[in-house]
Amino acid sequence: FYALKVGSDEKNLLRLGCGWNKKTPILLEHYAKVYSIDDDREIIENLKRVTKDVSGLQVCLSTHGEIPFYDEFFDVIISPRGPLLERPTLFQECFRVLKTSGYLIATFTGERDLLEIKKAFGRGVNFFDGDYVESSNMKLEDFIRSVGGKMKTVMLKEFQYKEAYDSSTDLIGLLESFPIIGDFSSQNPQDFSALENYAAHNGSSEGIFVNRHVLFWVERRMG
């Protein structure tokens, strides 16, 4: 978590998207308040149910890519595998609500991310452009130019690694949190069977392994 490195109990953090996993509560320990926004009311309501006993978290609706906060409101903004690459206007909104010297931290899904799971299901969100990292770099450079060059790249790295999940239930949580498998449902017998088959072939005493591929980007607002 780079966000923990730059966090403090006096800062406000904005998370783009209302995903939730067991690592997310750590953010609440390092910030005064954490805000999550999403343009899907159903996802927002689900997050509210999951976090009904969690303090220090605010959930807001975003419409038409707008972030409903004042200029320079946030110290840190994170976009975990969100739509930032495909929505230039959202990047400009992030710039608007980010304080000078504040950080924008984003991860983007690579073309080989969770590829084996997608093969097991016979469907999924794939990229396969072959030049994913190069084309992403060009988009990110365009974003910075769009705000007059007032963002400085602190880090831009590509990572490939393995991730372990304790059980099929935890893996279901992953598939329900991110748009990995289109229309995934653990109640669908075919989906459940594909999940169990994957777990059987990729499980060990250390957990069920998945291969991850991400591009990690950190920007700092300079003016």
What does the alpha-carbon distance between residue 21 and residue 30 come to, in Å, rounded to a whole number?
A: 16
Q: Is the pLDDT of residue 36 over 70?
A: yes
What does the alpha-carbon distance between residue 131 and residue 127 come to, in Å, rounded to a whole number?
A: 10
pLDDT tens digits, 147-157? 999 999 999 99
Task: Calculate Rg over the CA atoms of the chain.
Answer: 18
The residue type at 148: G
Given this model, what pLDDT does residue 117 score? 92
pLDDT tens digits, 114-145? 889 998 998 887 645 555 677 788 888 999 99
Distances (CA, A) of 103 to 79, 139, 162: 11, 18, 27
CA angle 145, 125, 170 (to 5 degrees): 110
φ, ψ (nearest 5 deg) of residue 196: -65, -40
For 191, the 3-state DSSP assignment is helix
Of the CA atoms within 13 Å of residue 173, those in its CB half-sphere come to 14
C-alpha closest to that of 65 among 44, 86, 34, 42: 86
Tell me the whole-structure pTM to 2 decimals.
0.81
The predicted model gives 201-217 an average pLDDT of 92
Enumerate residues 6+ apart whose C-beta is below 8 A from 100. Answer: 72, 221, 222, 223
The predicted model gives 185-189 an average pLDDT of 92
